[in-house]
Amino acid sequence: MERPARLCGLWALLLYAGRGGVAAPAESQPPVTNLSVSVENLCTIIWTWNPPEGASPNCSLKYFSHFGNKQDKKIAPETHRSKEVPLNERICLQVGSQCSTNESEKPSILVEKCISPPEGDPESAVTELQCIWHNLRYMKCTWLPGRNTSPDTNYTLYYCLGKILQCENIYREGQHIACSFNLTKVKDSSFEQHSVQVMVKDNAGKIRPSFNIVPLTSHVKPDPPHIKNLSFQNGDLYVQWTNPQNFQSKCLSYEVEVNNSHAETHDIFYVEEAKCQNTEFERNLEGTICFMVPGVLPDTLNTVRIRVKTNKLCYEDDKLWSNWSQAMSIGQKANPTFYITTLLIIPVIVAAAVIVLLLYLKRLKIIIFPPIPDPGKIFKEMFGDQNDDTLHWKKYDIYEKQTKEETDSVVLIESLKRASQ
């Protein structure tokens, strides 16, 4: 009886183990085969491969893949993977097979396939290639020539919108070269394009092509708004304008600039949600945006400008401001007659002042810089007259003596003549 019991226990243990009661270690699957890479459009890279040979029939194959430096890891049952990336650098994909979607499971040996950038001197490729979507109507791309390029190089820009097209409108803007092409997103349309792939090369094939991918949720620059009305009410300035076409109000942010000519102030108001809080203005101009600027003096000249940009509620980029709108002014203007009269009178006054200064320059010099008294001159003035008088009297005495002597000699001679007779 003991032997049959032992046999039954051993049979039960084997049956339990066969049903999975004991976890068997997972076996590593063979690597994938025939891994290849190709390029579609301008910047869409596609990797394809075949399932591994000799895989376990009980394994539900999944494929583990990632790019260089283990970026963008992915586990999926598909035997292909694509990525939209500029082809300016070498790009590699590594693929392995496994039996589950668990990342902790060790995959098979990873197989790698790379795609290299186009041939050519990297210094010949254009630089600063960037594109801006203007008002959701046209896209403008600009770039600078490469360092090792000829000044007379003829460039060609290709862009992909479902199919590869060539940009015909190439022109220069200073040192930059630009090209514009129509790109319109109509409301409520099946516009499924999420990005635009761009490539710039030359016609002769002497420079290395340069690539860029422009997401349509960024790099959007609206047109400037249009100011419709300015008005004062209760010491506040109400500004009303219309948005550029193709944009909803919730997708835009605003800046309102107010310049006061009298106070020479320059105020800028950042507006995320424009509301006047006044039903009267909203009824008068339907479809307009309104903003109230508090504390503006109505008896001065106020000049208003507005610009807009996209916000992150609808777009990924919120850094591209539109140009400023055309300025509109309100308030009392200064009388130009006063300024003209002032401009005419000032030169006359200046000329008269110069003449007066020239006429009275000597007197002004004496008044401003009076002479310093000379002590010697003062002493001479005090004692000089007395010395002159003394000298005068001395000369007079000498003259009197000479006259008297001459008279005496004449009388003596006459007396002698009489005596001789």
3-state secondary structure of 168: coil
CB-based contacts of 28: which residues, under 8 Å, 6+ apart? 106, 107, 108
- Give the strands of the sheet with 33-40, arranged side by side: 33-40, 44-50, 80-84
Which single residue is written with the structure tokens 């630009």?
Answer: 178
Question: Cα(292)–Cα(282) distance, rounded to whole angstroms?
Answer: 12
* pLDDT of amino acid 25: 45
pLDDT tens string, the chain, 421 residues long: the values are 444 444 344 333 333 333 333 334 456 788 999 999 999 889 999 999 999 988 777 888 889 999 887 788 889 999 999 999 999 999 999 999 988 877 777 778 899 999 998 888 989 999 999 999 999 999 999 999 999 888 888 999 999 988 899 999 899 999 999 999 999 874 444 456 789 999 999 988 889 999 999 998 889 999 999 999 998 888 888 999 999 988 988 899 999 999 887 766 778 889 887 776 665 655 555 568 888 888 887 778 889 999 999 999 989 888 899 999 999 998 776 556 666 777 788 888 888 888 877 766 766 666 666 667 666 666 666 655 555 455 454 555 565 666 666 666 655 666 666 666 5
| Residue 210, pLDDT score | 95
Angle at 318 between CA 321 and CA 86, to 5 degrees: 105
What token pair was written down for 31? 């690597």
Stretch (H or E) spanning 343: helix 336-359
Across the beta sheet with 302-310, the strand order is: 265-271, 252-260, 302-310, 328-330
3-state secondary structure of 224: coil
- Chain centroid to CA 343: how far? 39
> Which distant-in-sequence residues (6+ apart) come within 8 Å of 175 by Cβ?
144
Name the CA radius of gyration of the chain, rounded: 52
Q: Which two tokens stand for residue 67?
A: 């790019």
Query: Residue 353 in 3-state DSSP?
Result: helix
Own/partner long-range contacts of 285-291 (Cβ < 8 Å, ≥24 apart): 285/228, 285/229, 285/240, 287/242, 288/228, 288/229, 288/240, 288/241, 288/242, 289/225, 289/240, 289/241, 289/242, 289/243, 289/249, 289/254, 290/238, 290/239, 290/240, 291/238, 291/239, 291/254, 291/256
